Amino acid sequence: MNDGLAIRRALLSVADKHELLPLARALSAKGVALVSTGGTAAALRADGLEVQDVSAVTEHPEILGGRVKTLHPRIHGGILARLPEDQGTLDELGIEPFDLVVVNLYRFEDAAAKGAPLDELIEEVDIGGPCLLRAAAKNHTRVVVLPGPEHYPAFLGEWLETGSVSLASRRRFALAAFARTQAYDQAIVATLGAAFGEAAPAALPERLALSAGPATRLRYGENPHQAAAFYPSSTDGLGGLRVLEGSNALSYTNLLDVDAALGLCAALKSPGVCVIKHAGPCGAACDPDPARALEAAWAGDPVSAFGSFVGVNVPVDLALAEALVERPFVEGVVAPGFSPEAEARIRARKGWGKTARLIEARPAPSAPVVRSVAGGVLVQDEDRIAPTSWEVVSERAPTPDEDAALRFAWACVRHVRSNAIVLAKGRAIVGVGGGQPSRVDAVQLAAKKAGERAQGAALASDAFFPFPDGVEVAHAAGVTAVVQPGGSKKDAKVIARANELGVAMVFTGTRVFRH
């Protein structure tokens, strides 16, 4: 029995236009009628493709600044119709069916990760997109739904080869769509719950289905005797990286470092640079001049920076490339892009050999974090939530300079393994302590790394100080301001000691522990 579905008419409405044009070109070349909304339609037309506006289908303009455009019977009727039993209704109302729905959602998770204000977060809550995804997924027996660019290759591979899409594939795409709307709603609940001061209810699935691949064999795992592979589940993040230079294949630990670089780069204001060693930052900085940001980030721990991965959250231009090639050996440079001049300059650098990679990649949208343990897997939300408060609890408030340094350190500290301590001056890390069983040990390690730079520095702690001793060690090193979640039974004693020492202290109300 042939359960394949032919594609004759497609609805495309995407916020993420990555890989949109190759998909649309393939559809158009096969005679598929394209229907689209505002920005997506404009992108298709700019590429020379013929497309019909949704407003022409509905015979009604988009209203409320684009808030309402696809919520119409001629759109949802064309998606939800069962054929042939609903054909009479379609004919009576002049509705044409859709066979393919390509939709991805407003970038709410990205806005939340950047700490966007509440009004901006609300505007990034997608309404029509989830409705389209759920409608198409519900009617997957007749409609193909693609909820993100990571699904385009599988769809095109099957459709271009066979001329149809099997029921098994339609079911996989439908489950991916339901999973996407679930994760999206979960991010909204968690973020707005924090903004509203309400605890977010648990929203993890009762059963977990993992879909990834095909596998890329890696040189080895954490050690040469361990086999390893990478299974991409998205075209964002590591799934979409391109190695522009460097003959040696990326290893398991290399990919962990690249992932850490992408994560911290996403948290830094642009332009921002981080230096990653062993999956954690040994330096990070922001500066309007990316080359100065690199200099400040490298100075965070120049000894540990040897053999590191450098992450940049802006495209690398020639000036930054000149600054990069002045550094000792690095394993790779991770950035959203490289100018031709920058790429040529870095490739010409002698002494790095062929192992230094130029890696083009961008952060992935927020998604559940999955970790394997003996006998199962652990799943949790990704930690991108903004602090629930920024409350000065000490007698002395931070100065403007201290406040800026505290906020920078707080953005960085969640990317350090617990117990995590980050010392910062201005918008640059000067010392990091993490992975210690004792928070006092972590403070001592960060202060040792900072040396004289700890004088006047701000300190961020990923979890509360259980005793005053951590603040005492920080003050002895020269730290003048501290930000921490608060919540210890001994908060009053910790605050009192900070007051005695003249240390400004801020509570965020949010723990950012990373085990």
Catalytic residue numbers read 138, 278
Omega prior to 419 cis, within 30 of 0:
yes
| DSSP codes joined into one string, 178-191 | HHHHHHHHHHHHHH
- Tell me the residue type at 441: D
| N-to-C CA span, the chain | 51
Reading the block at residue 226, the tokens are 């361990």
Which neighbouring-strand residues pair with 459?
Answer: 423, 482
**Exposed e or buried b per residue across 97-108, where buried means at least 16 C-beta atoms within 10 angstroms of its C-beta:** bbbbbbbbbbbb
Query: Strand 52-53's sheet: what is its strand order?
Result: 52-53, 33-36, 9-14, 100-104, 144-146
Length of the chain: 515
Which neighbouring-strand residues pair with 100?
Answer: 10, 144
Range list of H helices, 268-327: 290-298, 318-325
CA distances from 275 to 155, 218, 451 (A): 38, 23, 19
Rounded Cα distance between 248 and 232, Å, is: 20
Backbone phi and psi for residue 500, each to the nearest 5 degrees, phi listed first: -60, -35
Rounded Cα distance between 17 and 134, Å, is: 20
For the stretch 279-282, contacts whose Cβ atoms lie closer than 8 Å and that sit 24 or more positions apart, written own/partner, are: 279/253, 279/417, 280/415, 280/416, 280/417, 280/432, 280/434, 280/435, 281/412, 281/415, 281/416, 281/429, 281/432, 282/308, 282/429, 282/432
Rounded Cα distance between 271 and 258, Å, is: 18
427: closest CA among 442, 417, 412? 412
Reading the block at residue 72, the tokens are 């119409």
Range list of H helices, 223-370: 252-267, 290-298, 318-325, 340-347
Backbone phi and psi for residue 373, each to the nearest 5 degrees, phi listed first: -135, 165
Query: Strand 272-277's sheet: what is its strand order?
Result: 242-245, 357-360, 330-335, 308-312, 272-277, 280-286, 428-433, 421-425, 458-461, 481-484, 504-507, 391-392
Which neighbouring-strand residues pair with 20?
Answer: none
